[in-house]
A and B are shown apart, each in its own frame.
Chain A
Amino acid sequence: MKRERTRQQLDPVGTFSSRMTTVGAAVGAFVFAAIMTGISLDESRNPAMGVLALVLLAISSVIVVMASDPYRGPFTRTMHYAAVAYALTAAAISTGATWGTDLFIQYSWAPTSLGMLFLAMAAFRPAREIVATGGLAAVFIGFLAMLQSRAVDLGIPLLAVVGIIVTPLLALNFGSAAFSLSMVRSLESWQRRTNRAVDEMSTEREAGIARSVQQDRVTILNREVMPFFTEVLRADTITDEDRRHARAIADSIRRVMVAEVDRTWLENLIEHLRSRVRREGGVPRNDRIVFDDDHIANLMSYDQRTGLRALIVALYDQSDNRPRDLEIVLERSGGRCHAILSVRVDLLDGIVKTRFGPYIAVLRAVFRNLHVGYLQSVLTLRFSYEQR
């Protein structure tokens, strides 16, 4: 998945946690416009146009709110352009409402509302894109301001009018871009540092894990294999009994190996989570959770596995280690692997979204085509990934 330098990609949880700011800015843009339109309604030439402009701005705000929702969809460049386009059209129409009056300097809401929309989108689009669309928007708004000030003789120089009107837009736009850039740079530098640390830690851990795996294997060997071979080597002859014994040992080793070789990290994880219940003295449910006949769970990338692992552990934590009707189905089709995860979560809508929002945000950053649904207490995730 093409990586964009945005806060959403590098810090999905932080971005999700800032949802209040995002929604607040998008809604605030509309509220500000509504207030300004309301105040100037009596004196405006064409109130209907004012209201129409508000409707278009509302659409723009809704686009921003929905696109930034991790449950609904990634914030693509198209969404960004669409939101800005609607807002600019609203701005153009609103100039019609205040045409020929001197209201437009004080009561033009377009630059400020656009600026607030850029504030909302800051975390979701790269800084360069934000500045580019901001610049274009400023030129357009400046042009509208120029037209308006020509229609009225205010005694104020044209450029000064354009300057004062465009300022909120440019200020908020630059501010948002600067915020986004600063966050991205910090996150990338942090990422570099942690990668070095992870490399060092994994080398340290490898030795310990090697020893532990070694111990497991040697125990198996010591129990059966070593005595048998020692006996055969010592006796220097092979009897039929030996042959039968060899076959039996080989079969038992093979059985264990078949089970191990085929198990994916996902099945191991579920098994590990089930054993939590056993440790607490309970009896885990034995219904099958992972349906992965082709063992394609192993084809997920490291990031994808981490994201999914975090979500599954969160589901177990939330349901006291007994998630209801948890099912994970993986299958291959058309060169891609498709997965469906469904689980019953009995919580209020809003609480589900808030509690699992960060994990969904992370999954959205690592999987393409993530679809999330929450219907009748069943949370369903659909995602796909390429074979590595």
Chain B
Amino acid sequence: MSLGLPSHVAPRTLNRALERAGHAIALAALISATFIVLAFAASRADLLLWPSLIALACMLVALWWVDRARTIAAAICYLAIGTAATYVYVLAFSSQLPTLVESTVLWLALPKIALIMAAGVSVGAFQALGWSLIGYILAELASLVALSQIGVSAGFDLAAFATFVTASVVIILAFLATNFARKSQPKLHRAARDEMLDDIRSRMELRAAALMHDTILSHLAAIANSTADTLSPAQKVEIERDLQILVGQEWLRETEPSAPTETLADWRQTPLNSAIQDARKQGLDVSGTGDFAAVTRLDRTRNTALGLAVKQCLVNVIRHSGVMKAEVAVYGSDTDVSVMVIDEGNGFVDSSVGSDRLGLRASVRRRIEAVDGMVQVWSTPGTGTSILIQLPVVSEEHRGSQPPQADSVPDVAEDAT
């Protein structure tokens, strides 16, 4: 959806559209007139109607030029040719078919309509109205002169007059409408801009929250639950490094601006594999089943998100499930890649707001949903937990309906290996 045109562009576009419509109507009128004259000429060979045909042809050429060129010179030329052509047309038609014209002046209306509808190259309502008026006056003058020359008295041409009035009303209403739209357009554009900024901010906040959870909270938990009296050197190094990163400038910006949508060639290089290796290093027995190669069909952004999410799931298994065994199963279909992390541990109850629930929400669910994926969690206390992560393979690029998805989650976790 676009929110329509802003106020400075709308009048020009409206003018252009009205001109186009006018030209189409003029074209229809001229073609119709040609058709009618041919019909008369075909049925009665004694009629001398070819001047009308030439006049109409000239008008058609002039119309084509006005439509293409859109200059004032072309418009004036069109008016001049059109007036002359109307004169010729009326002269020829009424001299050959005087009784018809006297009974129904409608037959003369067509070139006049073409003259009313097609002249203007205008900016704004008044100019458009002006061209219409000039077209109408010239058309009626030409017709009057021709008729008086022949000596035929025709009635008032209601059709031409009605066309002029209708055209004027449509022009006026169209421009009133743009004024009305002007009141609400700015609010809509502001809403769109706010939404875009809000979207960017919330993605950033999301990344910050996920990162903070993965690093700070995890170190705090390690300290809180430590049994030894000192920190291990490895822990110290990790804490220092994580703090450096958080305080540094770059952790919210693009870390891989070059190719976030590239796919990785070898599944062994994927973040998913890194996550599994990390977990194994911490003593978790992870068995992998299914089609791991399917993961390479995901683009880099989604792969990164998947790796970090699975890492968090496995960390949860280590910390909260009470067992040191988990299974990671991967399935690929034409449209998605599904990864399940299954353990037979303690399980948990949905409504609790413990550390594992927050981890799931921040680190797993929001991360995956931010790249158009889906997460489902099944857990029964005492029996175990299964977490399903599903990611689409085809990236959704709805240009103009979504803000740019140009971010990638920082690869802090990969550095941890």
Contacts and interface: CB of A to CB of B under 8 A. Distances in A.
Contacts of B16: 182, 186
B2 A238 contact: no
B43 interface: yes
B259 interface: no
A225 interface: yes
A164 B209 contact: no
A289 interface: no
Contacts of B2: 10-11, 187, 190-191, 194
Interface in A212-260: 212-214, 217-218, 221, 225-226, 229, 232-233, 236-238, 242-244, 246-247, 249-250, 253-254, 257-258, 260
A310 B27 contact: no
Contacts of B246: 217-218, 221
B7 to A, nearest CB: 11
Contact of B32 (A10, A170, A182): A170
Contacts of A106: 104, 106
A301 B3 contact: no
A330 interface: no
A210 interface: yes
The winner among B106, B117, B178, B195 for most chain A CB atoms within 10 A is B195
Interface string B146-187: 000000000000000000000001100110111011001101
- The dominant DSSP class at the A interface is helix
Contacts of B320: none
A303 B403 contact: no
A81 interface: no
B231 interface: yes
B400 A195 contact: yes
A84 to B, nearest CB: 18
A89 interface: no
A233 to B, nearest CB: 6
Nearest to A180: B17
Interface of A: 9-14, 16-21, 24, 105-106, 119, 156-160, 163-164, 166-167, 170-172, 174-179, 181-183, 186-187, 190-192, 194-195, 198-199, 201-203, 205-207, 209-210, 212-214, 217-218, 221, 225-226, 229, 232-233, 236-238, 242-244, 246-247, 249-250, 253-254, 257-258, 260-262, 265, 268-269, 298, 301-303, 305-307, 309-310, 313-314, 317, 358-359, 362, 365-366, 388
24 contacts: A11-B2, A13-B3, A18-B173, A105-B104, A106-B104, A160-B36, A163-B32, A163-B35, A170-B32, A183-B13, A186-B16, A187-B5, A198-B403, A206-B407, A210-B204, A233-B240, A236-B231, A261-B209, A261-B366, A269-B198, A302-B403, A306-B195, A313-B191, A359-B184
